[in-house]
Amino acid sequence: MKYMLLIYDNPANWEDVTEEQMKGLYAEYGAVSQNPATLSGSQLKPVETAKTVRITNGETLVTDGPFAETKEQLGGYYLVEAGSIEDAAKIGAAIPSARMGGSVEVRELVEM
C-alpha cells in the first residue's frame, strides 16, 4: 500500500536552528529519502510563494497563498510504500519535523 507522509511545520520553530544543526537535520531528511520504502518526496517552497485556485459559478479566481488560520504549514511530503499505516507511521517518526514542534500526517492513497 502507498502512503503520503505530509510534513507540517511552524516556521517559527526553525528560527533558532544553527547552520550546524541544520546540516544534521537535512541528513536525517536524506536518510528518509534513501529508505527503500520511500518512492518520492520533496520540500515545498514557503506559503508566501503559493497561489490558491477557486472556481465559483464558472469563474476562476486565483489568489495569493493558502493563508489558512494556522501556524503549521505544509512544508513537504514523502510518498512511501508500506505494509500498513503503522509501518508508514514508523517512517514518519524518522522525519525531524515530527519532533521539532511540527507533525507528520500519514494518509493511505486511493489507488485505482
Selected residue with higher pLDDT from 48 and 78: 78
CA dist 8 and 88 (Å) reads 16
**Ranges of each domain in the chain:** 2-108
Q: How sure is the predictor about 71, in pLDDT bands with cuts at 50, 70 and 90?
A: confident
pTM, two decimals, is 0.88
Q: What is the pLDDT of residues 9-19, one digit of tens each?
A: 998 899 999 99
pLDDT at 72 over 90: no
Does domain 2-108 correspond to CATH entry 3.40.50.800? no
Q: What is the pLDDT of residues 11-45, one digit of tens each?
A: 889 999 999 999 999 999 999 999 999 999 999 99
